[in-house]
Amino acid sequence: MKKFGVLREKIPFLALLSCCVVVLAISGAVKSAEESKSTMAEASGKQVILLDAGHGGIDSGGIGINGVYEKDINLSIVKNLGSLLTLSGYDVVYTRTEDISIYDNGVEGIRNQKVSDMENRLEIVERYPESIFLSVHQNQYTDKAYFGGQMFYTTNNSGNFRLATIMQNKFAELQTGNDREVKLIDNNLYLFKDTKQPALLIECGFLSNENDAANLSSPEYQKKVAFTIFSGLTEYLKEVENKESINNYGETESFLYMQ
Ligand SMILES: [Zn+2]
């Protein structure tokens, strides 16, 4: 029974893979050197991890109870995470590596600049259909008692719930008393609405909570959060790999049986 369960899950994954290859082949003709780099990475078997540090530049995101800007915490965690992933042999792509908003030149007015920034982030997400997409943010709420990281996912990819669950468990290990549950993202979340690759919105904690805000402002804790995300992601990837090898074994077994 278990074998068939695995096989059923494998089919959409394969369908998605072949679909992505087609998309990549079409867009490859018109895209920049950056994409060629990604295509080369995929050809060499390197998994692409796309990291999005939420907000930046004119958009500070949430402001902590201690005055810290969400955009700065997001960037620090993402850079630490990116280093860990690069050292481990992944091909890491970032939406930003500086305190900037990535709107087009010539766009005026904060509102328009924010729209342009989001459009450009989405364009990067779509440019790497074979990636795993992680967007890092910090939460806030009117009730200052709320604390702890929480994972948000869509059902656009069959692996998202599992990725979210593994990641949530890793955050529970880091943050004592964090019993938050993974949550389905509303359909209106721009970057995730039509994102087909495995994708996760990671809210690392609440800047409206005194303890979370203090922790998340500390460079040491930011490194711990980065390692937590790194551990969750690698555990998920290992699980996917194991499923594939179980599946391959299953196929060989059926083949032999048929002989
Ligand atoms: Zn945010």
Which domain, by its residues, includes 65? 44-242
Collapsing DSSP to helix, strand or coil, 136 comes out as: strand
> How many A from CA of 252 to the centre of ligand 1?
47
Has residue 124 been placed in a domain? yes
Give the Cα separation of 123 and 127 in Å (integer). Answer: 6
| Residue list, CB under 5 A from ion ligand 1 | 54, 61, 137
What does the mean pLDDT of the chain come to?
Answer: 84
- Is 134 a domain residue? yes
Q: How many domains does the chain have?
A: 1
**Is 92 within a domain?**
yes
Residue 29 lies in a domain: no
> Ligand 1: distance of its center to the CA of 192 in Å?
14
Is residue 19 one of the residues assigned to a domain?
A: no
Q: Could you give the strand order of the β-sheet that contains 150-153, starting from the edge strand earlier in sequence?
A: 91-94, 48-53, 132-139, 199-206, 150-153, 183-184
User: What's the token pair of residue 216?
Assistant: 């998340």
Instruction: Convert the pLDDT of each residue in 199-233 to its tens digit.
Output: 999 999 999 999 999 999 999 999 999 999 999 99
Q: Does 78 fall in a domain?
A: yes
Question: Is residue 7 domain-resident?
Answer: no
Give residue 101 CA to ligand 1 midpoint distance, Å: 13
Where would I find the beta strands (DSSP E) of 87-163? 91-94, 132-139, 150-153
* Tens-place pLDDT, residues 143-195: 999 999 999 999 999 999 999 999 999 999 999 999 999 999 977 789 999 89
Instruction: State the distance from the centre of ligand 1 to the C-alpha of 17, rounded, in angstroms.
Output: 30
pLDDT at 12: 39
Find the 188 Cα to ligand 1 centroid distance in Å.
15
| Whether 201 contacts 64, CB under 8 Å | no
Q: What are the CA-CA distances from residue 186 to residues 34, 97, 192, 212 (Å)? A: 31, 27, 9, 25
CA distance 72 to 137: 10
* Strand pairing category for 150-153 and 199-206: antiparallel
The domain that contains 125 carries what CATH number? 3.40.630.40
Residue 249 belongs to some domain of the structure: no
